[in-house]
Amino acid sequence: MRGQVKVAAKILATLVALNAVVPAFGQSSPSADAKLENNLTTAMAWKQTAAEYRALYHQGFNLARLRVELALAQKQDGTLPLAIISDVDETLLLANDYWGYLIEQEQDFFDDAIWDRWVAENRAVASPGALEFLEFCVANGVEIFYVTNRDQGDSTVQLALDNLNAVGFPSVDRAHLRVLRETSNKEQVQQQIREDHEVVVLLGDNLNDFARRYYSTDLEQRLSLMEEDRERYGRDYILFPNPTDGHWIRAIFGDSEPPPSDANRSILKQAATRSAWTP
Ligand SMILES: [Mg+2]
């Protein structure tokens, strides 16, 4: 499981299934939706084939490199060493064949048990441009911190190290890997790193990778918090695309990993038709 608080997630999932948490998307009966298709199909067709999807990773890492180059040029003697902080999954490592498998299994939401089995298989691949960017950082004396929210029990740290090593990333060791098993709140770790480093950029596929204040189930609040920080995107925050999972899902369901039920498929369809022309 990715580091969710499992009991709380189960309670939330039950409430969501009862349409008790998301009135904005839970008003109509699931039976009203005669045709509910697999939610992941379009997102994964895009991830698996679109040059545009891969180009967005290059765009993100090119921007991150520009920020690092600027910080290196402005660095003065005696100041704190430079560092970057990056999320792991769907930022540096891609799990496309995990998601492809889910579709083949007729699953259409993130599945913890399958994820735990998949992580142990070491099948993740580096995202486009990730290796080159990380190697550039190391070659220029910029430290890399991998900060991930994962939970595969006692094996969590070793599995994460194995996944990162399997694709040849640099600085993969316990000093540079921070694993959060019990919470997805990354701010404490970020603060610890900032005590003795100047952090140039944060990289992630989820706004929560940057700041905890985005951890809201209120859609409008999440959108407006992001807009308040618009100047930080492409500067302090380098964001990568993820249409399959993340806290944007949580803002719809109240749960990042909703169970695969017709009720939840209906809620997602209502989110997709939140704005819809009525001729
Ligand atoms: Mg991620």
**How sure is the predictor about 228, in pLDDT bands with cuts at 50, 70 and 90?**
very high
How many whole angstroms separate alpha carbon 84 and alpha carbon 204? 11
pLDDT at 28 over 70: no
Q: Kindly tell me if the per-residue pLDDT of 64 is higher than 60.
A: yes
Q: What is the pLDDT of residue 39?
A: 86
Contacts 24+ apart (CB under 8 A), 161-166: 162/122, 163/88, 163/93, 163/119, 163/122, 163/124, 164/88, 164/92, 164/93, 166/122, 166/124
Centre of ligand 1 to C-alpha 88, Å, is 6
Amino acid residing at 213: R
Q: 159 φ, ψ to 5°? A: -65, -40
pLDDT of residue 37: 76
CA of 274 to the centre of ligand 1 (A): 26
Quickly name the fold that domain 6-272 has: Rossmann fold (3.40.50)
Dihedral of the CA atoms 48, 51, 54, 57 (nearest 10)? -150
pLDDT of residue 27: 46
On average, the pLDDT of the chain sits at 90
Confidence check: pLDDT of 12 > 60: no
Residue 175 has pLDDT above 90, yes or no: yes
Q: Kindly state the tokens that stand for 257.
A: 């990993």
- Residue 86 clears pLDDT 80, i.e. is over it: yes
CA atoms within 13 A on the CB side of 124: 29
21: pLDDT confidence band, cut at 50, 70 and 90?
very low
| Strands (E) located in 9-48 | none
Enter the pTM of the model: 0.88
| Helices and strands, counts by H and E, the chain | 11, 7
CA distance readout (Å), 183 to 6, 115, 118, 149, 272? 10, 18, 21, 7, 29
Question: Could you tell me the distance, in angstroms and rounded to a whole number, from the CA of residue 222 to the centre of ligand 1?
Answer: 17
255 C-beta neighbours (distance < 10 Å), count? 26
- What residues have their beta carbon closer than 5 A to ion ligand 1? 87, 89-90, 205
CA of 91 to the centre of ligand 1 (A): 6
Length of the chain: 279
Q: How confident is the model at residue 18 (pLDDT cuts 50, 70, 90)?
A: very low
pLDDT of residue 9: 46
Segments making up each domain of the chain, as ranges: 6-272
Rounded average pLDDT over 83-99: 98
pLDDT at 11: 42
| Alpha helix segments (H runs only) across 105-260 | 112-120, 130-139, 156-166, 187-195, 219-228, 247-253
Dihedral of alpha carbons 199, 170, 126, 187, sign: negative
Rounded Cα–Cα distance for residues 142 and 134 (Å):
9
User: What is the 206 CA–ligand 1 centroid distance (Å)?
Assistant: 6
Q: Indicate if the pLDDT at residue 222 is higher than 90.
A: yes
